């Protein structure tokens, strides 16, 4: 992940997992990824986002449904986030979750927000580029 990152940030944060999913899984995979990313980049890792509740699993939803479910779900844990924040997540599907997180950070005063994910979910046939 670090090798492909091109976003210069002042802090690394992660997409927070809902309390129920945390209890179910026993760990927050995005937080587990954010720590080593921040360490490797030499950037502080900070808990900047709060999840205001939980949503139903997004796996079977389309983009519009996902965006609707994420509206207002995230708030910031700090009054004023750093100017440039890198959000780490495990999987990017439609981008609805990280978009909601970015909106919360920007509304709280961040100037720029970047996203770094471990995987990109894809449907259908993928074109191979060499």
pLDDT of residue 71: 64
- Quote the pLDDT of residue 85: 98
Mean pLDDT of 85-101: 90
Give percent above pLDDT 70 in the chain: 78
Contacts of 6 (CB under 8 A, 6+ apart): none
Instruction: Report the chain's mean pLDDT, rounded to a whole number.
Output: 85
H or E segment to which residue 39 belongs? helix 29-41
Q: Which of 116, 94, 99, 124 is nearest to 43 (CA)?
A: 116
Fold of 2-120: Rossmann fold (3.40.50)
What does the domain layout of the chain look like in residue ranges? 2-120
Helix axes 96-108, 63-70, angle to 10 degrees: 30
Q: Which whole number is the average pLDDT over 99-113?
A: 94
Q: Does residue 66 or residue 37 have the better pLDDT?
A: 37
pLDDT tens digit sequence for 61-74: 555 666 566 666 78
Report whether 53 contacts 73 (CB < 8 A). Answer: yes
Q: What is the mean pLDDT of residues 64-87?
A: 79
The predicted model scores a pTM of: 0.82
Looking at residue 130, its pLDDT comes to: 47
Instruction: Return d(Cα 77, Cα 90) in angstroms, integer.
Output: 20
Q: Do residues 128 and 72 make contact, with C-beta atoms less than 8 angstroms apart?
A: no
């Amino acid at each position: 992940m670090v090798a492909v990152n091109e976003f210069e940030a002042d802090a690394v944060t992660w997409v927070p997992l809902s309390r129920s999913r945390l209890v179910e899984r026993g760990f927050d995979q995005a937080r587990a990824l954010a720590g080593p990313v921040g360490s490797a980049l030499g950037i502080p890792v900070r808990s900047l986002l709060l999840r205001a509740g939980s949503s139903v699993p997004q796996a079977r939803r389309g983009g519009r449904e996902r965006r609707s479910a994420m509206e207002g779900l995230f708030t910031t844990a700090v009054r004023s986030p750093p100017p440039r924040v890198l959000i780490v997540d495990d999987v990017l599907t439609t981008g609805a979750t990280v978009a909601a997180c970015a909106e919360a950070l920007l509304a709280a005063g961040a100037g720029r927000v970047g996203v770094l994910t471990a995987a990109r979910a894809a449907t259908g046939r993928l074109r191979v580029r060499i």
